[in-house]
Amino acid sequence: MQNENNAPILFYVADPMCSWCWGFTPTIEALRADDRVDLRYVMGGLARDSQEPMPADIRSYVQGAWREVESRTGARFNWDFWQQCEPRRSTYPACRAALAAANQGRGQEMFHRIQQAYYLEARNPADSETLVALAGDLDLDGERFAADLASDAIEEALQEDFHLRRRFQATAFPSLVLQIKETYRWLSRGWEESNTVLARLDEILHSTIADEVK
């Protein structure tokens, strides 16, 4: 698994509806702007497809996570979501939407648009109608996106991401795994401070360059 220009690949294992991934946004924005690495998103899949309303205990758990993320990272949340939407513990549709948008070259943008809609606009990305509307926000081909979202090909791509997640043994989101040639190094297992993650990347890349010139 290597890109054409042999640049290091940085795998971001995440879920658009993971609140800790939302709190990780400043780090990911910095990494997206770093031309030393090829940043690739891997959909982790927090919760399977479900049409059932979120049980009270799960609501309490998720709301508690929001409060902790808000406190530790400074990320903002629109708490109107819990009154305006019918929450469901179902994140696979949002993961598929990022992959469907990737078919039109906008996978990363869709990932972050879903986060904005969920956490800031009190919209429910577990609903396909919301996802199709967000595709429209990105000027994607809506008919193609909707068809891809429900396609066997996107489901296969999702399962491939899950396989990669298991291969990395990435059990916490967000996770960052750096591939340099045939070696793999962890940058984070779960949320960490941006400065820590970025300093770790700098150290690994500088060490690699130093080894190559010896």
pTM of the model: 0.94
Q: How large is the C-alpha radius of gyration of the chain? A: 18
Q: What is the pLDDT of residues 130-172, one digit of tens each?
A: 999 999 999 999 999 999 999 999 999 999 999 999 999 999 9
Residue 1 has pLDDT above 60, yes or no: no
Q: Are 15 and 165 in contact (CB under 8 A)?
A: no
Q: How far apart are the first and last CA of the chain?
A: 26
Residue bearing tokens 């904005």: 116
Name the residue ranges covered by the structural domains of the chain. 9-213
Using CA atoms, how far apart are residues 196 and 171, in angstroms rounded to an integer? Answer: 20
d(CA 29, CA 14): 14
Give the position of tokens 């690495």: 37
Sorting pLDDT into bands at 50, 70 and 90, what band is 213?
very low
Reported as a single tens digit per residue, the pLDDT across 27-63 is: 999 999 999 999 999 999 999 999 999 999 999 999 9
Give the architecture (CATH level 2) of 9-213: 3-Layer(aba) Sandwich (3.40)
